[in-house]
């Protein structure tokens, strides 16, 4: 049972240089002294058993009277609504808190969904009344990574996941609302200049979740995984433009659209999925993408939950041995790997179980002449070495934001305009995937 209330808040944009008013659905238990959040609460359910988990949401409307009615629609779910007054799409709650509308639906189908205001969505969703629903398959247990699938089939298996809840904003509308000039709001003149992932724009998206200086924007979007893992992108477009989202570093597989796995028949898995590097997410649409970066031939192909350290802490020892050393790995089943090590041109010898795998071709010079350090400019995510996990020399005071020597891949919209915050570049729909070396610990999900 959830109690929702719609109310006002203000959100910081562009590293807190601008504050704009917005509206939010907010859990009633949280409203004392706290304004709403953008996006609205992300619900996460497990489909406990088919057709038995029922969700009930009671909605009360505390917006100012000129805002008019609000309501909730849940695309992909069959909803029963009672109370309030009848609107175009569903039952609506009038302003002033005079009525409560109750929405009930069954959570019986895993997938990524959105919910939003079903009354004047061109205006109300712009003002912030939208959120995400994640339904996890039967058997999902967040403490057990072996149960992580998006749709219950092994073909939807992943090791880590991130929500990409996309919204846009035209501040002119918000300024009119803040000033109480509702008659001036014209959504036909809509011209968005800000773009949000999970309620924040770049670079705030990469800051930790729940930081105190973004009190109304608790969610971040910082995709991170270890080499060899699979990464699930839950892409949801709550805005009104299509967005060509591009994921650098590798192809991904589209495994589901609108909360339905792309399978030819039940039990087949996502066999109708396709590989791509860009996916244009249309307004109202959701899509689930699985991306991986294997470090081909550096890691066991079936890396998964192999937790042994296979990365030597310091391997930047160029040319200690002029003969190239090679390591071969063979997957033996379960978590067992056969490790073979030797010098090129000699007999390969087996390594003792538990030995660390030294990738000894790392740290050796490239066959190019690298300019002197002072002739180079370093990006913020460069760690001083072209090799994953290694560290090299950076100029004094260089603000290297790459703690573990991971590889950063830009994940962003390919609409150039959407890479700005109110005309300032870079901003908008940008995050960076961090592929960390295999020995870097990953946080476990919390729900
Ligand atoms: Cu790009």
pLDDT tens, residue by residue, 350-383: 554 444 444 445 555 667 777 777 787 888 888 8
Entry pTM: 0.81
304 CA from centroid of ligand 1 (Å): 28
pLDDT at position 384: 81
Q: Which residues of the chain have pLDDT under 70?
A: 1-20, 26-52, 295-366, 444-447
For residue 358, give the nearest of 324, 311, 392, 404 by alpha carbon.
311
Query: Cα of 283 to ligand 1 centre, how many Å?
Result: 21
Residue 438 token pair: 């295999």
**What is the C-alpha separation between 354 and 185, in angstroms, rounded?**
66
Gap from CA of 423 to ligand 1 centroid (Å)? 19
In 83-210, the DSSP E strands lie at: 85-86, 91-92, 100-106, 111-116, 130-136, 160-169, 194-197
Q: Which two three-digit tokens encode residue 327?
A: 């390591």
* Residues 223 and 151: beta-carbon distance below 8 Å: no
Ligand 1 centre to CA of 439 (Å) is 28
Cβ neighbours of residue 171 closer than 8 Å, sequence gap 6 or more: 18, 20, 193, 194, 422
d(CA 380, CA 375): 16
Give the model's pLDDT for residue 345. 55
Q: How far is the CA of 317 from the centre of ligand 1 (A)?
A: 34
Q: Ligand 1: distance of its center to the CA of 247 in Å?
A: 7
Residue 95 backbone dihedrals phi, psi, to 5 degrees: -65, 165
CA-closest candidate to residue 217, choices 238, 233, 198, 191:
198
348 alpha carbon – ligand 1 mean position (Å): 42
* Cα separation, 307 vs 301, whole angstroms: 14
What distance in angstroms lies between residue 251's CA and the mean position of ligand 1's atoms? 13
Q: How close is the Cα of 329 to the center of ligand 1, in Å? A: 34
Tokens coding 373: 């350090």
Confidence (pLDDT) at 397: 80
Q: State residue 33's pLDDT score.
A: 37
Residue 355 confidence (pLDDT)? 45
CA of residue 440 to ligand 1 center, whole Å:
26
Q: How far is the CA of 252 from the centre of ligand 1 (A)?
A: 14
Burial-class residue 355 by CB neighbours within 10 Å (0-12, 13-18, 19+): middle
DSSP single-letter state for residue 115: E
């Amino acid at each position: 049972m959830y109690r929702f209330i719609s109310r006002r808040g203000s959100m910081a944009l562009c590293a807190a240089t601008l504050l704009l008013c917005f509206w939010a659905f907010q859990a009633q238990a949280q409203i004392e002294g706290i304004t709403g959040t953008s996006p609205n609460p992300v619900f996460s359910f497990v489909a406990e058993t088919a057709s038995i988990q029922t969700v009930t949401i009671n909605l009360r409307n505390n917006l100012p009277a000129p805002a008019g009615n609000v309501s909730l629609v849940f695309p992909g779910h069959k909803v029963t609504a009672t109370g309030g007054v009848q609107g175009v799409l569903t039952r609506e709650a009038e302003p002033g808190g005079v009525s409560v509308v109750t929405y009930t639906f069954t959570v019986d189908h895993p997938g990524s969904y959105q919910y939003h205001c079903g009354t004047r969505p061109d205006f109300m969703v712009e003002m912030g009344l939208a959120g995400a629903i994640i339904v996890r398959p039967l058997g999902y247990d967040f403490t057990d990574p072996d149960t992580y699938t998006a749709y219950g089939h092994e073909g939807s298996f992943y090791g880590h996941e991130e929500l990409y809840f996309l919204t846009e904003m035209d501040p002119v509308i918000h300024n009119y609302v803040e000033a109480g000039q509702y008659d001036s709001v014209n959504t036909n003149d809509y011209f968005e200049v800000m773009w949000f992932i999970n309620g924040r724009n770049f670079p705030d998206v990469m800051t930790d979740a729940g930081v105190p200086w973004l009190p109304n924007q608790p969610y971040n979007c910082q995709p991170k995984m270890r080499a060899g893992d699979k990464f699930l992108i839950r892409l949801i477009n709550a805005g009104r433009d299509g967005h060509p989202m591009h994921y650098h570093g590798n192809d991904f597989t589209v495994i589901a659209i609108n909360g339905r796995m792309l399978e030819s028949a039940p039990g087949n898995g996502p066999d109708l999925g396709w590989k791509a590097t860009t996916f244009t997410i249309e307004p109202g649409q959701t899509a689930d993408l699985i991306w991986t970066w294997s470090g081909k031939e550096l890691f066991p192909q079936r890396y998964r939950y192999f937790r042994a350290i296979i990365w030597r802490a310091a391997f930047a020892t160029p040319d200690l041995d002029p003969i190239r050393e090679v390591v071969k790995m063979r997957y033996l089943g379960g978590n067992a790997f056969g490790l073979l090590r030797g010098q090129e041109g000699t007999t390969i010898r087996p390594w003792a179980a538990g030995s660390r795998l030294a990738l000894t071709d790392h740290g050796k010079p490239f066959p190019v002449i690298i300019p002197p350090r002072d002739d180079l400019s370093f990006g913020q995510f460069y760690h001083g070495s072209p090799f994953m996990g290694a560290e090299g020399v950076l100029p004094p005071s260089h603000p290297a934001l790459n703690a573990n020597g991971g590889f950063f891949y830009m994940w962003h919209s390919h609409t150039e305009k959407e890479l700005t915050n109110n005309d300032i570049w870079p901003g908008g729909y940008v995050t960076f995937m961090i592929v960390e070396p295999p020995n870097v610990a990953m946080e476990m999900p919390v729900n």
